Amino acid sequence: MRSRFEEQLTYLHNSLIEMGALVERAIANAVKALTEKDTELARQVIASDDEIDDKEREIESLCIKILLQQQPVASDLRLVSAAMKMITDLERIGDHAADISELTLLLAEMPYRRNLEHIKQMAEATTKMIADSIDAFVKKDLALANAVIDADDIVDDLFVTVKSDLLELIDEDVKNGDKAIDLIMIAKYFERIGDHATNVAEWVIFSLTGSHKKKSAV
């Protein structure tokens, strides 16, 4: 009975890693599509959201099966409970990657009137947060999980910078309004991705310690 339980936990562990990899790839492709105005890649990101959703449903079903069949306790129960929370945040990150790509399609035919450097920095920071939160889960690394939580402040500060810069663009010429608002929305999606990566890190900490260090609110 225990060997079957161990097999299920191993499969759960590997499935979470696979979902994390899908999400990381979606974000990386969304960023590439945005910066290079690659509409075909943007459409691929939007289409890939279904695969992420399917993976979430698969893992959720496995977690429910484990809870019903094995009735885990202590650290095993924390792991399964944390996994069910983590997949919700990972799925939402996938949604935001698709949201960014949909805006990329709208912006593709227009030149960017502002350098996207700060948005690129947000993208790089949030991508690292996602990767590190998954690595923290794989390696059971509390220090790395806490580093992800701390990194969210950097993303928040970058969002304030981007918003200020784009509002200045609107002040220069109201005709820039629609484009600037779309770029602010893209920056906001990256800010939310940072929040969700923080949530994942918080659930990693919970799975290891039983304590939920809550920082972000989405």
| Domain CATH for 110 | 1.20.58.220
* Residue 215 is assigned to a structural domain of this protein: no
User: What's the CA gap between 51 and 49, in Å, rounded?
Assistant: 5
Q: Determine the pLDDT at residue 217.
A: 44
Greatest extent of the chain over all pairs of C-alpha atoms, in Å: 69
Whether 91 maps to a domain, the answer reads yes
pLDDT at 167: 85
pLDDT of residue 179: 84
Residue 50 lies in a domain: yes
Predicted structure pTM score: 0.91
Buried b (16+ CB within 10 A) or exposed e, 24-36: bbbbbbbbebbee
Residue 132 located in a structural domain: yes
Q: Is residue 182 within 8 Å of 103, Cβ to Cβ?
A: yes
Range of the domain at 182: 2-209
Segment-wise mean pLDDT, segments of 10 residues, the chain, 218 residues: 85 94 95 94 98 97 94 92 96 97 90 78 94 93 97 96 87 77 94 97 94 62
- Confirm whether 216 is domain-assigned: no
Residue 218 belongs to some domain of the structure: no
Number of domains in the chain: 1
In terms of Cα–Cα distance, which of 190, 182, 187 is closest to 163? 187
